Chain A
Amino acid sequence: MARAFAGCVRDGDLIVLSGDLGAGKTCFSQGFGAGLGVKERITSPTFTLHNQYRGRLILNHLDVYRLDDLEETLDLDLPEMLETGVTIIEWGEQIDPTLPSDHLTIRILHGSSTALGEDDPQGPVDDDLRSIVFEFNGPIWLARLGQLEAVIQPWEVPC
């Protein structure tokens, strides 16, 4: 799905990946990178903070889990990074106040419950199941709602 979704993005796009450890954020980024035509192996940027890849577009892959303070996000110089290519930030919801209003949040949740952030009282039944929720923020993404819906439709399950 990430691979298919990569066909919809363009220069300047910002995607926030949210989900617990092991939810599959980096896995999603790898599929996304493949969809962008990135040949290199995409690894977790947890320690490097920022990796850059070249595909159809430049892919900026960030992970801000390690940052302790919002002030540290200044050092990433996001405004400059967003000038070229598409940017994916894992754990990006943690730095939400520093992000531009136009961004897409993708939440990867364990289990098949589509209830946002609400844990199934029985706990995850099948560890291999994931729910992926797209959250559109800002006019740039809202305008593309229909296009994205069509692309991810094959994976859609009735709520």
Chain B
Amino acid sequence: MLTLAVTSSTGVVGVAITRDREVLSECHVVTDRRHAEELTPMIREALGFAGVGLDEIDRFAVDVGPGRFTGLRVGLATVRTLAFAKHKPVVGVSSLEVLAATVLDPSAKGSLLSPAATKSEGCVVAVIDARRSEVFQQRFGPDGPFGEPSFGSPQNMARLVLPGDVILGDGADRYAEIYGACDGATHRIGIEPLAANVARLSVGRPAQEGPQVVPVYLRDPDVKVNIKTRHNT
């Protein structure tokens, strides 16, 4: 099973080509907001490194958020377009889970978040910068995530960290003074979602038709008001 996986939910854009659990090629670039310009050439590059043609790809995988609005849309649109053109399915994966997988080795057998793969006894807290002085956060244990991903101010979200936890992600890095002060927890700096982990996490998960894979923004404001009407009143 050849998978082409994309991550674009943070300031890092990445592409990985995997055969089952083996990574054939992987490219990443730190880009502030040039996701659209970077992604397509990178896909070509990753295919080239892997010696694989786009026609050989069996399915696509992409991280669906939560994360940066524009980045997510670039990743989703690109993957959905390729899947549509090649008549192949797509697997969507949570960005927070991809991040957590950096520490909780997803290549471990059985449960994705195998306790054996965690060096510390604790859990992993994945934190992604949500802009506007907020973060997206979710805590993962040996048996999977605790509850749904949530968002809030770093001050409030950091209170959910427990002693023994490993904290990672660009949200924790940005608010390092807050997350660094969590009692008994370890903040690992510079961890980003990797495309190879998007691919690994997608293994064994149900694939969908491209259009069924939708971004998870978490923080959509309620924006159904017609502004022209408002303006006239």
Give chain B residues whose Cβ lies under 8 Å from the Cβ of A118. Answer: none
Query: When the two chains form their complex, are residues A68 and B228 in contact, meaning their CB atoms are under 8 A apart?
Result: yes
Q: Give chain A interface residues in 53-109, CB to chain B under 8 Å.
A: 64, 67-71, 73-74, 77, 79-80, 82-84, 94-95, 97-98, 100
Q: How far is the CB of B67 from chain A (nearest CB, A)?
A: 11
CB of B119 within 8 Å of the partner chain: no
Give chain A residues whose Cβ lies under 8 Å from the Cβ of B227. Answer: 64, 67-70, 94-95
Q: A68-B226, A74-B221, A79-B131 are in contact. List 18 more A-B contacts (CB 8 A).
A: A67-B227, A68-B227, A68-B228, A69-B223, A69-B225, A69-B226, A70-B221, A73-B223, A74-B223, A77-B68, A77-B69, A82-B131, A82-B132, A84-B32, A94-B230, A97-B222, A98-B223, A100-B132
In chain A, what residue has the closest Cβ to B230?
A: A94
Q: How far is the CB of A98 from chain B (nearest CB, A)?
A: 5
Q: How far is the CB of B28 from chain A (nearest CB, A)?
A: 20
Query: When the two chains form their complex, are residues B131 and A97 in contact, meaning their CB atoms are under 8 A apart?
Result: no
CB of B70 within 8 Å of the partner chain: yes
Query: When the two chains form their complex, are residues B131 and A71 in contact, meaning their CB atoms are under 8 A apart?
Result: no
Give chain B residues whose Cβ lies under 8 Å from the Cβ of A73. Answer: 223
Separation of A73 and B230 alpha carbons in the complex (Å): 15
Query: Which range holds the interface residue count of chain A?
Result: 10 to 19
Query: When the two chains form their complex, are residues A70 and B132 in contact, meaning their CB atoms are under 8 A apart?
Result: no
Separation of A118 and B203 alpha carbons in the complex (Å): 64
> A residues near B, CB below 8 A?
64, 67-71, 73-74, 77, 79-80, 82-84, 94-95, 97-98, 100
Give chain B residues whose Cβ lies under 8 Å from the Cβ of A84. Answer: 32
Q: How far is the CB of A28 from chain B (nearest CB, A)?
A: 20
Query: When the two chains form their complex, are residues B224 and A70 in contact, meaning their CB atoms are under 8 A apart?
Result: yes
Separation of A100 and B32 alpha carbons in the complex (Å): 21
In chain B, what residue has the closest Cβ to A73?
A: B223
Q: Give chain B interface residues in 106-126, CB to chain A under 8 Å.
A: none
CB of B220 within 8 Å of the partner chain: yes
In chain A, what residue has the closest Cβ to B220?
A: A74
Query: When the two chains form their complex, are residues A70 and B223 in contact, meaning their CB atoms are under 8 A apart?
Result: yes
Give chain A residues whose Cβ lies under 8 Å from the Cβ of B226. Answer: 68-70
Separation of A120 and B70 alpha carbons in the complex (Å): 45
CB of B205 within 8 Å of the partner chain: no
Interface centre among B131, B220, B222, B228 (most CB of A within 10 A): B131
In chain A, what residue has the closest Cβ to B71?
A: A80
For B66-87 the 0/1 string (1 means CB < 8 A from A) is 0011100000000000000000
Give chain B residues whose Cβ lies under 8 Å from the Cβ of A100. Answer: 132
In chain B, what residue has the closest Cβ to A84?
A: B32
In chain B, what residue has the closest Cβ to A69?
A: B226
CB of B33 within 8 Å of the partner chain: yes
Query: When the two chains form their complex, are residues B69 and A80 in contact, meaning their CB atoms are under 8 A apart?
Result: yes
Separation of A77 and B69 alpha carbons in the complex (Å): 6
